[in-house]
Structure 1
Amino acid sequence: MRIYKLLYVLLIVFLSGCSQKKADKIIVVKNTLNIERTFETVELTKAFLGVDDLSTIGIRDIETNKLQITQMVDIDDDGVFDQLLFQPKIAPKSEKKYAVIQITEKEKPKAMDYCYSRFIPERTDDYAWENNRVAFRVFGPVAQKMAEDGIKGGTLSSGVDAWLKKVEYPIINKWYKENDENIGSYHIDHGEGLDNFHVGISRGVGGIAVKKDSTYYYSKNFIKWKTITTGPLRTRFYLEYANWDAGGNQITESKIVSLDYGSNLSKFETKIEGTKTISVGLTLHEKDGEVSGNNENAWVSYWQPHKGSELGTAILTPKKYFINHETYHTDNVDESNAYINLKVIDNEVTYYAGFTWKESEQFATKQEWEAYLKLFSKKINMPIEVTLN
């Protein structure tokens, strides 16, 4: 009798295990390229996963049995999470399986919010963002009005400023706080990096222009902002600009900017009306560096000496938007830029812009930086394939 009871218990356990395995959904992530895929963010939706609530979902690596770092995103600000993000690591020409499991908040693996952004009212009205490798900022309407009224501390620019960090942990809040206590503090390297990148009215690292005949026209500072998400894997936010004139054409412009963990390049998803093309620029500063471009992989880069070190900046785009690249030299202060010219398709255009600083020890040479751009281009033009079993 005891033997029968034992067999019965074992049968229940076995069937329970089978039931659990049946209940697990399996994500198959496929890499079709002959390179390892890392630091690429997979976006999973409720509809794709067939679930009603993403907050109870975890992703487990079937091979290692390890839970993955994930991040939930409310895209439309309705209080309900729309996306679940994670970053797989896949060997060349291979696929990997992940289980979609039910999980509690306590069971989720924790990670620092490396990908961070916010509006900075204490420093006029900057909007700043960063990840574990790079940091940026842009300038708002108060800074614009101050500049137009001749008030010290104002900035009139829609160019993108680069903050040269050399630590992985977040620095935005720390640097702004220290600058409040000692004005100019973030212009000095205290061991974490500094802001010594001049923007002015240039395009900085990824500001746009509209070219008509031989003249480049720019917007002014952003007028609206909205933070969409911050977390361990991605920060994402919205910027809007006042309508602006480009040689008689009225331009309407807004964009969503995102920066993922492990990337040197921010993604700019721009909505624009009033033009069929845009030019995205990199400031040439003292014009003592080297512009290089790659038509096959749709990028332009500028490698330059920079205050006792070296700095590489770049703009890269999916191939469907790419037209060409060019270098514009002028004697006008801050208006010399390397440009990548892009097609606007259905009033939208997407590009990536970012930089590397030699002091960060990420890329030591121009050649290493350009190799990174080549791989980045391959990845965005051949995305990771994701299926659900």
Structure 2
Amino acid sequence: MVLPTRPCVGLLAALFSAAPLPGPVLAQTVGALPPGVEGEWLTARDRPALYTDIAAVPSRQSTMAAVEYVASSQIAAMASEPLALSTGSNLTQMSSNWVAATFYVGASRLARISDDRRTLRFLSAVADHYNYSLRGARSGKTMLNADDIAIGDLYEELYARRGQEGVLMPLRQRLDWQVPYLARADDTPALVWWWADALYMAPPVFARMTALTGDPKYLNAADKEWKRTAARLWVEDEKLFLRDERFKDDGHRQANGDRIYWSRANGWVMGGLARWLEALPADFASRGFYIDLFEKMAGRIAGLQQEDGLWRASLLNPSAYPEAETSGSVFYVYALAWGVNHGLLDRDIYLPHVLKGWAALNRHILPNGLVGAAQKTGDQPVSTAPQDVGLYVSGTYILAGLEVAALNDPIRSLPLAEPARDAAEVIAATTPVPPAPVTVVGPEEIRRRDAEMRATSALSYDPADLNRPSTIAPLAPPPEDQRRPRAVARFAPDRLDDLLWENDRVAHRIYGPALEVREAPSGSGVDVWAKRVRYPFMDRQLKFPNYHVDRGEGLDYYDVGRGRGAGGLGVWYDNKLWTSRNFSTYDIQKTGGDEARFSVTYRPWPVDVVRTVSEVRTFSLPLGSNFTRMTSTLSSNISAPLIVGIGISKRSNDNGRGFVTRDADHGRLMFWEPDNPEHGSLGIALSVDPATIEGFAEDADNYLILIRVTPGQPFTYYMGSAWDRGLDFSSRQSWEDFVAGQSFEFRPIPQEVD
């Protein structure tokens, strides 16, 4: 291998670790490699025997030798090239674009199991060179471009192995920006993922982000757009995908007038399905849709394999481009072997296709170690030359080889677990140290530089000192003995005097005196938490600095604001709602078993200038119920009856103002919130004694149900909630049907003594 003759511009100022440097930083020397390039990368492994017998599964050893050879050859080729400032159309360099990213996908998987740490060092240096960022910042369209998301898989892999938050932050910010567009409620003429290749580039990155963070919004959003793309591009009769919608019209046909089904486009889809299903939770609602699609495509693709073991660029018209073509074929070998290894495809049926294809791919490995006969970048079949190569081919060859090697092993279940965290020694050994400046020459400068770096490490503040949980980590389940369903209530001085209560179905809180001092004008509205586990989760969720992020078990995304939230009350007088501030005192009477019960007091508050009112309220939430029973006693300096307004905060967004149901005959006020693209919809229901109803009203912040109350006499009402991404209700209709079937007792229940 000839060394490069000019510097790799801007190449690879690799990660500066927060840990102390392991030793002196060596100075640059004249005639050394360009900064950041390691000499080991520039030499490929020795070429192994590449012939395989299609009558038998090749050994793991021989298969891995071929995989390591191609991987090292591709790294050597990439590292030997100068790196251009603009990487958008780079085809052979260490770019951040999709071409290079598809190599990183395969190389990352190899680095999980390889004893050779050079691959992971190379990947680490590339990721650090790009500061873990993505292309596409110039416009909204490019911010949504799936191709520019593909490199996110590399960042996710490095985060999974190292747990360094900054590695994932730029990617997560981009995905957060994309989620509302992917999760839009209505179909649009234009798709976000409008071409088949996109299904390889972006969806697996979204699925892994959910696996890494616990937040299902990424997976749910990607699922919506995936299905939109399939609805437009999947042709059920052919069991194949069109590359994009242009290939439906007469101007994009084969010479014989038939539709064009491009091999690599369908390869992207099959490979993307495999990677998507690896991260898809076993209980994900749409999982069957994707497995069915994968199995249909596999059956069709297997039947289109040619005698030489490859697939032609035009799947249904192989004679149009009769030459060998590997860039589609390599995906099919990968996907079919993957399907066998994970029990989705019958081994007896599909193994011969895999072995025939693997042998064919190996016949096209060029003397330089790269896979030849690869169609160039494009959007449809074209002629291919034997010497043509592509990073997407070498990357997917690695994936295919790993699956061929795994044919020697038992079937693996899905989803796959993320890789375990690396030991500190492994991280140190696979993280390139930034080269010293060229001015560091001679022993004295080396000593000075070494002392400077040690001081930098010693004097820098370490956020880990606060022992706060990661902003990215999913919510870890509690110990097994803490996972039993129970109803709990807790006063939380650690959260500014919140009072929390939850059971196996719902979770709520109200705000206490410390928050009243800190965040005026906080008030007596009732907060709703979205919950999808049967055991208590609020305490563990609140330990995160931002508990408004879903980490797998639920979150608080409901904004009480100045409103009543879900069931706060006030006195309705002169067409205005007069409300208390935060609760003043509390008494928890029952927690940890089949009921959470507590009472609170609210200090007197004015009703205009005509009277003053105070309140004592008892809350009771039994196990198995979506409804909290509230019994309130209002005291007043005037004995005249009160009109009390019990409210639900208004909500609106781009998806509308939600749905309000007012039912005086049954004493109900219900509100189904407009869909939140990231988190779904909450439903709130209030139930009061119909005999006390005075009507309905609303103000700027609330929908209100009005009841007649006598000061000093207790009255009871119920507040219930539901979440369409929780465990019990998937729609407004299912929630409202449930509410309609409930019966409520409004007579005061004597206070129990525990």
TM class, shorter-length = 0.5 to 0.7
Once the two structures are superposed, the pairs formed by residues 356-371 of structure 1 within 5 Å of their partners are 356-371=722-737
Deviations 1:40-80 (A, max 9, x none): xxxxxxxxxxxxxxxxxxxxxxxxxxxxxxxxxxxxxxxxx
Larger of the two Rg values belongs to structure: 2
Give, in angstroms, the shift of residue 156 of structure 1. 1.2
SS at match of 2:674: strand
The equivalent residue for 1:122 is: 494
Structure 2 residue 673 is the aligned partner of structure 1 residue 311: no
**Do the aligned partners of 1:132 and 1:167 also contact (CA within 8 Å) in 2?**
yes
SS at match of 1:342: strand
The equivalent residue for 2:505 is: 133
The equivalent residue for 1:380 is: 745
Give, in angstroms, the shift of residue 146 of structure 1. 1.1
1-structure distance, mates of 2:746, 2:632: 18
2-structure distance, mates of 1:306, 1:122: 32
What letter is aligned with 1:284?
K
2-structure distance, mates of 1:135, 1:247: 34
Give, in angstroms, the shift of residue 313 of structure 1. 0.6
SS at match of 1:168: coil
Structure 2 residue 722 is the aligned partner of structure 1 residue 350: no
Give, in angstroms, the shift of residue 137 of structure 1. 0.5
Deviations 1:78-114 (A, max 9, x none): xxxxxxxxxxxxxxxxxxxxxxxxxxxxxxxxx9461
SS at match of 2:605: strand
Structure 2 residue 633 is the aligned partner of structure 1 residue 268: no
**Do the aligned partners of 1:131 and 1:259 also contact (CA within 8 Å) in 2?**
yes
The equivalent residue for 1:338 is: 703
The equivalent residue for 1:321 is: 692
Structure 2 residue 587 is the aligned partner of structure 1 residue 201: no
The equivalent residue for 1:279 is: 645
Give, in angstroms, the shift of residue 329 of structure 1. 4.4
Give, in angstroms, the shift of residue 289 of structure 1. 0.7
2-structure distance, mates of 1:379, 1:269: 13
The equivalent residue for 2:595 is: 234
**Do the aligned partners of 1:321 and 1:350 also contact (CA within 8 Å) in 2?**
no
Structure 2 residue 646 is the aligned partner of structure 1 residue 299: no
**Do the aligned partners of 1:112 and 1:232 also contact (CA within 8 Å) in 2?**
no
Give, in angstroms, the shift of residue 381 of structure 1. 6.7
Q: TM-score, normalised by structure 2?
A: 0.33
Structure 2 residue 612 is the aligned partner of structure 1 residue 250: yes
Unaligned runs of 5+ in 1: 1-110, 149-154, 331-335, 384-389
**Do the aligned partners of 1:343 and 1:349 also contact (CA within 8 Å) in 2?**
no
2-structure distance, mates of 1:282, 1:233: 27
2-structure distance, mates of 1:310, 1:220: 28
**Do the aligned partners of 1:113 and 1:231 also contact (CA within 8 Å) in 2?**
no
Once the two structures are superposed, the pairs formed by residues 149-160 of structure 1 within 5 Å of their partners are 156-160=522-526
SS at match of 1:159: coil
Once the two structures are superposed, the pairs formed by residues 132-211 of structure 1 within 5 Å of their partners are 132-148=504-520, 156-176=522-542, 178-179=543-544, 183-184=545-546, 186-211=547-572
Evaluate the alpha carbon distance shift between residue 222 and residue 329 of structure 1 in structure 2; reply closer, same or farther with a 3 A threshold: closer
1-structure distance, mates of 2:624, 2:581: 30
2-structure distance, mates of 1:317, 1:140: 26
**Do the aligned partners of 2:717 and 2:746 also contact (CA within 8 Å) in 1?**
no
Q: Indicate the percent of aligned positions where both proteins have the same amino acid.
A: 30
**Do the aligned partners of 2:716 and 2:746 also contact (CA within 8 Å) in 1?**
no
2-structure distance, mates of 1:306, 1:225: 35
2-structure distance, mates of 1:301, 1:236: 24
Give, in angstroms, the shift of residue 342 of structure 1. 1.4
**Do the aligned partners of 1:137 and 1:162 also contact (CA within 8 Å) in 2?**
yes
Give, in angstroms, the shift of residue 230 of structure 1. 1.1
Q: Which runs of 4+ in 1 moved over 4 A?
A: none
Give, in angstroms, the shift of residue 338 of structure 1. 1.0
SS at match of 2:745: helix
Give, in angstroms, the shift of residue 215 of structure 1. 1.1
Structure 2 residue 582 is the aligned partner of structure 1 residue 217: no
1-structure distance, mates of 2:745, 2:689: 7
**Do the aligned partners of 1:206 and 1:315 also contact (CA within 8 Å) in 2?**
yes
Give, in angstroms, the shift of residue 325 of structure 1. 2.5
Give, in angstroms, the shift of residue 339 of structure 1. 0.7
Deviations 1:153-191 (A, max 9, x none): xx6111001111111111122122x32xxx11x211111
Q: Over aligned residues, Cα RMSD in angstroms?
A: 2.2
Structure 2 residue 660 is the aligned partner of structure 1 residue 288: no
| 339-348 vs 351-360, greater mean Cα deviation | 339-348
2-structure distance, mates of 1:123, 1:221: 14
What letter is aligned with 1:266?
T
**Do the aligned partners of 1:325 and 1:341 also contact (CA within 8 Å) in 2?**
yes
Evaluate the alpha carbon distance shift between residue 238 and residue 173 of structure 1 in structure 2; reply closer, same or farther with a 3 A threshold: same
Evaluate the alpha carbon distance shift between residue 381 and residue 136 of structure 1 in structure 2; reply closer, same or farther with a 3 A threshold: closer
**Do the aligned partners of 2:648 and 2:704 also contact (CA within 8 Å) in 1?**
yes
What letter is aligned with 1:321?
T
1-structure distance, mates of 2:646, 2:530: 21
2-structure distance, mates of 1:282, 1:299: 12
SS at match of 2:725: helix
Give, in angstroms, the shift of residue 353 of structure 1. 0.8
What letter is aligned with 2:672?
W
Query: Whose helix fraction is larger, Structure 1's or Structure 2's?
Result: 2
Q: TM-score, normalised by structure 1?
A: 0.62
Give, in angstroms, the shift of residue 340 of structure 1. 1.0
Once the two structures are superposed, the pairs formed by residues 42-57 of structure 1 within 5 Å of their partners are none
2-structure distance, mates of 1:229, 1:210: 29
2-structure distance, mates of 1:165, 1:188: 12
SS at match of 1:187: coil
What letter is aligned with 1:294?
D
Evaluate the alpha carbon distance shift between residue 297 and residue 223 of structure 1 in structure 2; reply closer, same or farther with a 3 A threshold: same
| 357-366 vs 158-167, greater mean Cα deviation | 357-366
**Do the aligned partners of 1:112 and 1:231 also contact (CA within 8 Å) in 2?**
no
1-structure distance, mates of 2:747, 2:713: 23
What letter is aligned with 2:567?
G
2-structure distance, mates of 1:276, 1:215: 13
2-structure distance, mates of 1:351, 1:321: 11
SS at match of 2:741: helix
SS at match of 2:740: helix
**Do the aligned partners of 1:311 and 1:355 also contact (CA within 8 Å) in 2?**
yes
SS at match of 1:305: coil
**Do the aligned partners of 1:117 and 1:129 also contact (CA within 8 Å) in 2?**
yes
Give, in angstroms, the shift of residue 213 of structure 1. 1.1
What letter is aligned with 1:114?
R
Once the two structures are superposed, the pairs formed by residues 70-149 of structure 1 within 5 Å of their partners are 112=484, 114-148=486-520
**Do the aligned partners of 1:299 and 1:373 also contact (CA within 8 Å) in 2?**
no
2-structure distance, mates of 1:338, 1:190: 31
Query: Whose strand fraction is larger, Structure 1's or Structure 2's?
Result: 1
Give, in angstroms, the shift of residue 364 of structure 1. 2.1
**Do the aligned partners of 1:342 and 1:349 also contact (CA within 8 Å) in 2?**
no
2-structure distance, mates of 1:225, 1:159: 16
